[in-house]
Amino acid sequence: MHCKYNPYGTHRNYDGFKKSSNDAKGDSNDFEFWLDHFNNPKFQMVDFKTKSLDPINTAWDCYNPVNMQARYMTSHCHDSKQCHQGSKNDALEPPLVEAIQNLENLQWFGLTELYEPSLCMLIYQSKGHLPKFCDCNSDIHKARQKNLHHVTHKIHKHDVNRLNLRIKRKIDHITRIDQQLYNHAKDIFMARIVELERLTNASLVC
- For 26-44, write each residue's pLDDT tens digit: 888 888 988 999 999 988 8
- Provide the 8-state DSSP code for 138: S
* Pair 165, 52: CB distance under 8 Å: no
- Provide the 8-state DSSP code for 97: H
Q: Which of 28-32, 40-44, 159-163, 182-186 has the weakest average pLDDT?
A: 159-163
Q: What is the mean predicted confidence (pLDDT) over 184-193?
A: 97
pLDDT above 70 as % of the chain? 87
Instruction: State pLDDT tens for residues 86-136.
Output: 777 778 899 999 999 999 999 999 999 999 999 999 999 999 999 999 999
Radius of gyration of the chain (CA): 20
Q: In 10 A of CB 184, how many CB atoms?
A: 15
pLDDT for 86: 72
31: left (phi over 0), alpha (psi -120 to 50) or beta: alpha
Query: Helix count (H) and strand count (E) of the chain?
Result: 9, 0
Considering only CA atoms, which of 12, 64, 11 is closest in space to residue 35? 64
Q: Which of 63-67, 120-124, 148-152, 197-201 has the weakest average pLDDT?
A: 148-152
Across the chain, what does the average pLDDT equal? 85
Amino acid symbol at 143:
A
* Pair 174, 67: CB distance under 8 Å: yes
- Report the predicted TM-score, pTM, of the whole model to 2 decimal places: 0.86
Q: 83 or 172: which carries more pLDDT confidence?
A: 172
